[in-house]
Structure 1
Amino acid sequence: MGKGIRAGFSRRLRWGAPQNRLARAVEARRRAGLPLLDLTESNPTRAGLRYPAELLGPLADPRSLVYEPAPAGLPEAREAIASWYLARGLRVEATSILVTASTSEAYGFLFKLLADPGDEVLVPRPSYPLFEFLAALEGLRFSQYRLVYDGRWSVDFDALARAIGPRTRVVVAVNPNNPTGSFLTEAETAKLQSLCAARGLALISDEVFSDYGFAECAGGRVRSLAGGSEALTFCLGGLSKAAGLPQMKLAWMAIGGPAAEARRAREALELIADTYLSVSTPVQHALVRLLEAGGYVRRQIAERTAANLAWLKAAGTKLLEPEGGWYVILPGPSGRSEE
């Protein structure tokens, strides 16, 4: 019997990223069951936080026994998210909100909507490494624009303008950025929106950490781009950070910009979402109470990050000043490789 022809895999999966020595050492220690202090831990459910037992109660809503497909999300879930924005001083119509199972899924939907294979996505550097993989899975090219540090992080707009090419379709901003913890200023926001509008680019504002700003850095920060923009804009959020509940698998995007463009985007995104219908009914029915009760978890995280930052400063640790988020960058010797 012949061996036949082996099935091939998509070139999208040819990342060729072997683990470095540190990752291998961490994996070996975990396999051996040895204790591990991971200063990069980003899973709030493993960080010793207190979760109120009543968080689970709303998931038992008997309405969840009936399946009602709603590609953009159940109306009550979208209203809950609109109320969440309103509590932060932002007016977003529930009809402008689309619910997804994760922000990663939201990126996948948006890349499908905005770009064809071979088109380009621009993301900040430094930023979240997952962007490269999310773009590759949609057959898109991945490029970066610089953030520069001079006492605070800021967008290098000259570098951003140079990075825009004939196949650039999307600019991603992360606000506050991960891992720099930097918020966009009002001036940066206006310039970014004007640039995208002038060049016909969509703007994605990843705002999952927007609730985590340090009070001493409050002046001049823009917490969210939701509620109006001259460019077609998609603002992302989710339970993972808003309530410290990544396991509940619910995120969202708020769609803004010129009315006609935003309407067409909503209609197309609803069609994309209708092919997946990935968000569970129970978590949507529970969303109002999860966002309310999640405030208790969010306050713990905010207190923890503020205390950790104060401890680092009191110890005289050299760091690149964050304005928010969960992380802080400690500079090492320049020129050293990851190894």
Structure 2
Amino acid sequence: MLIVAYLFVINMCITLLCASSDSSAIGNSSNVKGTTLNIGICNFRLGRNCGQSNVTFYLYTNNQVEGEQIVVNKSSSNLLQTAFNVSLETKILIHGYNSDMFLGVLNGIKTEYFKSGKLNVILIDWSDYAKGPCYPAAVWNCRMVGNCLSQLIDAIRRISTSNVHLLGFSLGSHVAAFASNYASKKVKRITGLDPALPGFATAANENKLDSSDADFVDVIHTNAFMQGTPLQSGHIDFFVNGGIIQPGCMQEGNVLACSHHRAPIYYGESINSVPGFWGWSCSSFWEYLIGRCWKSGNQTIMGEHTDPNMRGIFLVITNSQAEYAMGPYSNTIRNFIKMNNDKLQQIAQILLKDVKIISIK
């Protein structure tokens, strides 16, 4: 209860703070000169202008595995002087709070992409504006970071017609939403990996990730009600293992962080997974919580290969350790029985014993 109360207070404070500073819609980019207000170790970026900000971008390709910095502003960039391939799709990975571009789970996604084929992969680093314990500042700064990212998106479009796909983890999901709306044209796809809840629970749709932010928005929920939102945020939302606590995380030192980070871990595995992560449809997450969504109906795959034409809420079950993917529903049942065979036999023996006792009486 204390955790829930704490998150509620934090959310209300941040929402009021952001609302007072920005009553406009998410798509109305400001040209106010950017300056930084330092409160202790926390950096609040005033205005959305990217001039002299410490938001950086690094390009990785199959031929440039070490990465090289991209320099960009409103009118120009050095993209053509880098290894950027104008004929390939571009994946942009966005970290969240108290993190940076070296976050292991995001680099895991980058590694899986290069196993799958040739791509441009760009990692954004906005760690100066996302550092702990400055969560309210990190939420505040999402708009400015999104504006900086929108300049990169427009720079890519000036030289390439290939798709741009934004993948945001936690707070990075909302950064992706701002970026897409601030760009000259919205991106084709945004993937939200457990979009952050605190600071956004009561925010209007135009001020957080939602289905209007790209042609296709897919979302994976793994720590709902805690660090991640329980609200439907995309065209298709996947709630994994109940969407709140992930199997295997109870044995970890921080069950919430473990569950939160599973979203990018599952996504990374989905890129090259043979069985795949499959979910069954449910009318809403709340229907699932009260036990009304059985494993039946339409199935669809979660992650990199999600069908962009699918819509709604889907529920997914995984293994408790890698490889997490369990395949389609029929395989999921077989895998569950296989993993729990001993336990099921013990339960069966107990039930049979009880039946014999009852019959004797």
- TM class by smaller structure: 0.3 to 0.5
Greater percentage in strand: 2
Question: Taking structure 1 as the reference length, what is the TM-score of the superposition?
Answer: 0.32
Higher relative contact order (CA 8 A, sep 6+): 1
Q: Please tell me whether Structure 1 or Structure 2 has the larger radius of gyration of its CA atoms.
A: 2
